[in-house]
A and B are shown apart, each in its own frame.
Chain A
Amino acid sequence: MNQIGENLFYQKFDNGLKAFVLPKKNFNKVYAIYSTKYGSIDSEFVVPATGERLKVPEGIAHFLEHKMFEMPYGNVFDKFAELGTSSNAYTNYTSTTYLFSATSAFEENLKLLLEFVETPYFTKESVEKEKGIITQELRMYEDDPEWQVMLNLLRALYHKHPVREDIGGTVDSIQKIDVDTLYKCYNTFYHPSNMVIFVTGAVEPDQVFEIIMEHEEKKNLPPQDEIIRIYPEEPNTVNMPHIDVKLSVSRPLFLLGFKDADVGYDGTELLKKEITLNLLLEVIFGKSSPVYEKLYEEGLIDDRFGFSYEGQRDYGFCTIGGETKDPGKLKDELVNSLNEVKVKGLNEEDFERVKKKFLGDFIQGFDSLEFIANSFVSYYHRNINIFDFPETLKRITFEEANCRLYEFFDFNRMAVSTVYPKEKE
C-alpha cells in the first residue's frame, strides 16, 4: 500500500501483453480499459509482416476505432447493452483506448472487451457507411471554436510533425480509407506487445488475471518485434508565428503556445519535465498569481482562462489562453509577464505552495476511476509509472524549475492562434 492508500497489481503474459489492476473495494463500478499505443501521429510505419513502408490517410486510427465495434455477428455495443454496460472508445494523438464501465457481470464484460478488441472485422459496406457518421463528427468539430483554435495553434507550431493534423483527419482524407489499409494498421499496432489492460474498481486482481490468461492462451499469438514508426524530421522553429480565422463566435478566442525543443526521451525524465512545466505555468499564470489578477481586473480574461503543457517523447507544447475581448493586448501582457518573471526569477514561496496544490489535486483524482485508468494508461504509453508522481513532484527543486523557465519560454518558439467573430451581416 502506498502513501495515497492504493495497491497496484501487475501481470505480464507470454505474448507480451501487460495487465494492471487497482482494486477499489467499496466502489460499485468496474472501469476497464484496453489501450494500444497507436494514435493519429502514427501515420507512417513499416508493416511487420511484409517490410512494406506505408503512409496511411489522416484520421485512420480514429476510423479504425469506430470500426472495431463491428463484429461478424453485428455490433458489440448491443452485447454490452444486454449486460447493461456502457462501452466506449477514444483516440488521441498517441493512443487508442477501448473501455467499459459496469456494475455487474464483470467477467462477461471483460471477456467481451478482450474479444472485440482482438477481432478485426471490416467489410466494404460497413466502412462506407461509417464515412457518413464520421463526416458528421468532423463537421461537429468544425463548428467547435475551442477545438479549432487548438488545431490552428498546432499547425502554427509544427511544420511537418503529424500532431499538426486533426486526430479525426478531414472529410477528404477519410474517403481514402479502405478495408485493406484498416487491416494493415490493425495487424501492426494491435499486437498484444503494443497494448495494455488496466482495470479498477470492485474487482479481485487474481480473477482479472485468470480471465485474461485463459483468453490469451487460446489465441496463442507469436511475439512481434518493436514497431518501426516513421516521423518526419521536425525543425525546432515554429512553422508560422500566428494563424487567424473567423468563425461564428461572440468574442475572440486566443491561444498562445510554445514548442518544446527538449524532446526525444520518455520515462521519469519526461514526467519530471511535464510536472515542472505545469508548476511553472501555475505559478506564473494561475489564480494565485499577480498576472492572473491583473488580466482579470482588466477584463481580458475570466475563469475560463487556462493553460497546460503536454509532453510526449517526440514533441511537447504548452498552451495558454481563452476567450478575450482583445487578443493583441492579451498577447502583449502574457509576453511581458514572461519577460518579467525571466528577469526576476520565480518566488520560492509560491513555488512550494503550488507544489502542495499539485499533490492534493493528484490525490483527489483517485476518487475517480476514470481519472485513475485514463491517466495510468496515458503515462504508461510514455514509460511512466503514475505512482512516481508524488515522489517526482517532491524532488523537483526550485533551481531546476528556474532553469527550465529560461530554457522553455523562448520567444523564437512561440506562436499564437486566434478565432475572431465573423462580421455581422
Chain B
Amino acid sequence: MQEEVGGLSSVFSRRILDNGINLYTCSTDKFKTITICAFIHQNLEKSTATKTALLPFVLKRGSLNFPNSRLISRYLEELYGADFGADIIKKGERQIIQFFIEVVNPKYTGAENNIIDEGLRLFKDIILNPLTEGSAFKKDYVEQEKDVLRRIIEALFNDKFNYAIERCFQEMCKGEPFSIYKYGSVTDLSEIGSENLYSFYKTVISSNPMDIFVLGEVDEEQIYVKLNGLFSFERKEKELAKTIMVKEVEQEKFVEEKQDVNQGKLSMGFRTGTRYGDEDFYALMVYNSILGGGPHSKLFQNVREKESLAYYAFSRLEKSKGLMLISCGIDFDKVEKTIDIVKKQIRDIKEGLFSDYEFESSKKSLINSLKEAADSPSMIISLYLDGIINGIEESIEEIIAKVQSVTKEDVVNVAQKIKLDTVYFLNKNSRGESL
C-alpha cells in the first residue's frame, strides 16, 4: 500500500481498461490544470523508427471530427487555451509516441461547459479517428508532414550543443538500436506513403502497449468509466523487446568532426553497467551527481571554476540503457587538457577520493530535484513512465528513500563498472577563422 507523504503526490493508481490499456490516475488539487497523456510504446528499430516518428505529426494535423489544424486550434482556444500536442520521446531502446492535453480547471476560468469532456473528445478523435481517404491517411497531410519531419531531423545540425551529444551516442552505439535518432532518418522518409503509413498506424494502435495518465482534480472512478468508454476498441497487445545494456568496451574510440564553428564541443560517452531497475542504480545516481550533477560537482569545480576551460561542464545518465554522457564547450586547443582533467575526476571517484561535502551535497541535490519534480505534472508523469519502461512502479518518495540510503562504499563500487567508450569532438574547420 502506498501512502502520501507530506506534500508529495506522485502516487498513481493503476487500472486496466477492458481492452488492456493501462490507466494511471492521480487526483490532486495541487495544480490548476488537468493533464492527460497517452503513450504508445514501440521498439526502437531502423525498419519502423521513421514511420513511427511520422505518426504523431500526421495525426495531429486532423481527424474525422476535427479535420484540420485550424479547427483544432480554434477549438483549443475556446477551451481557454488548452494545451494539446503530440510528439516522440526516446527512452532507452524504446520509441514512444506521446499525446497530451492540458486543460485549465474550470473553477478558475468560470467556464461553464465541461472542459474535461470537451478536451477528451478531441484527444480521443486525434488518436483513434484519423482523417482518411479510402484506406490511406489524407495524402496532403502525409506529404507535408514528411517535409516537416525532414526539416526537424536536419535542424539538429543547427543546435551544436545537442548535435554533439547525439553524435557521440551514434558513434558509441553503432550497430545497436540506441544509435537510431528518435525522429528516424531522412533516407527512410522516401518510402513512406499515405497508404503504407495508414496500415502501419492500424497495426501500432491495435498491438502496441499503451498507457494513459490523468493528473489533476478529477474523480478517478468517473475518469475510468469515461476513458473505458472512449478507448474501447479491439486490440491484441504484443510484447516489446527490452533495451540491451552493453557492459563491456572493446576499444575506446575517438571521433572528430569539423564544422565552421566558434566553440569546440566535447562529448564523452561511458558504459555504466547499471541501469534503472538494478539494485545499484541509486548509487549510480549519486555517482553522477558527484561527477557532474551541478555546481557542487567535480566537473564544475575543476573544469570550470579551477581551470576556466568551459562555461558548462556536466554529466548525465541515460537510465534505461545504462549510459553516461559528459558534455562541455571549450576552446579548440584545450581538448587534450580537458580530457585529462575529466579522466582524473573519474579516477578519483573510483579510488574513493571524494569528500564528505561532495558526497552529502550530491545526495541532497538529488533529493531536492526529485522533490521539485513532484511540483510539476509533466515531471511526475515522466519519472513514473521511466519506471514502467524498466519494469518498476515506484513513487518519487520511494526513489528518495533509496537515494538516501546510498553509502560512500556503494558509490565506489558502482564507479568500478564505469568504462569510457567514445570521445567525440566537434572541431573547427582547419581552413581558419570564420569572420
Contacts and interface: CB of A to CB of B under 8 A. Distances in A.
Contacts of A425: 429, 431
Given A143-B160, A302-B152, A364-B83, A136 B263 contact: yes
A133 B329 contact: no
A359 B329 contact: no
Interface string A88-106: 0000000000000111100
Interface stretch (A116-124, A187-195, A259-267, A286-294): A286-294
B296 A77 contact: yes
B30 interface: yes
B329 A136 contact: yes
A39 to B, nearest CB: 20
A103 B309 CA distance: 32
B361 A81 contact: yes
A296 B429 CA distance: 35
Specify which of A4, A250, A360 lies most central, judged by the most chain B CB atoms within 10 Å of its CB: A360
A78 to B, nearest CB: 7
A417 to B, nearest CB: 15
A230 interface: no
A129 B305 CA distance: 8
Given A133-B311, A136-B331, A251 B151 contact: yes
A132 B308 contact: yes
Given A82-B360, A250-B158, A359 B109 contact: yes
A27 interface: yes
Q: Bin chain A's interface residue count.
A: 35 or more
Given A86-B294, A296-B69, A360-B82, A134 B364 contact: no
A139 B261 CA distance: 9
Given A132-B308, A360-B104, A360-B109, A29 B78 contact: no
Specify which of A130, A287, A292 lies most central, judged by the most chain B CB atoms within 10 Å of its CB: A287
A29 B375 contact: yes
A26 to B, nearest CB: 5
Nearest to A76: B295
Given A86-B294, A293-B68, A139 B263 contact: yes
A341 interface: no
B311 A136 contact: yes
Contact of B364 (A75, A84, A296, A366): A84
A302 B144 CA distance: 10
A369 interface: yes
B407 interface: no
Contacts of B102: 364
A353 interface: yes
A422 to B, nearest CB: 6
A389 B186 CA distance: 45
Contacts of A86: 294-295, 365, 368-369
B41 to A, nearest CB: 24
Given A139-B263, A357-B80, A81 B158 contact: no
Interface in B1-37: 6-9, 28-33
Interface in B52-105: 68-70, 73-74, 76-83, 102, 104
The majority secondary structure among interface residues of chain A is mixed
A220 interface: no
Interface string A127-145: 0011111101101101111
Contacts of B147: 299
Interface in A132-178: 132-134, 136-137, 139-140, 142-146
A253 B330 CA distance: 26
A32 to B, nearest CB: 13
A337 to B, nearest CB: 15
Interface residues of B, number: 75
B32 A249 contact: no
Contacts of A247: 260
Contacts of A102: 368
A189 B108 CA distance: 39
Contacts of A249: 157-158
Contacts of A289: 70
A276 B28 CA distance: 35
Specify which of B296, B364, B368 lies most central, judged by the most chain A CB atoms within 10 Å of its CB: B368
Interface in A1-26: 3-5, 25-26
A38 B19 CA distance: 59
A202 interface: yes
Contacts of A210: none
B377 interface: yes
Given A84-B365, A132-B309, A4 B108 contact: yes
Given A102-B368, A139-B262, A133 B304 contact: yes
B377 A367 contact: yes
B203 interface: no
A28 interface: yes
B80 A356 contact: yes
Given A26-B30, A27-B7, A367-B31, A103 B372 contact: yes
Given A75-B295, A81-B296, A286-B73, 8 more contacts: A5-B108, A28-B371, A140-B312, A248-B261, A293-B68, A299-B147, A353-B74, A363-B108
28 contacts: A4-B32, A26-B29, A26-B30, A77-B296, A78-B295, A78-B357, A81-B361, A84-B361, A84-B363, A136-B309, A136-B329, A139-B263, A143-B261, A145-B158, A247-B260, A250-B151, A250-B154, A250-B155, A288-B74, A296-B69, A296-B144, A323-B155, A353-B74, A353-B77, A356-B77, A356-B80, A359-B81, A366-B32
Interface of A: 3-5, 25-29, 75, 77-78, 80-87, 101-104, 129-134, 136-137, 139-140, 142-146, 202, 247-251, 253, 286-290, 292-293, 296-297, 299, 302-304, 323, 325, 353-354, 356-361, 363-364, 366-369, 422, 425
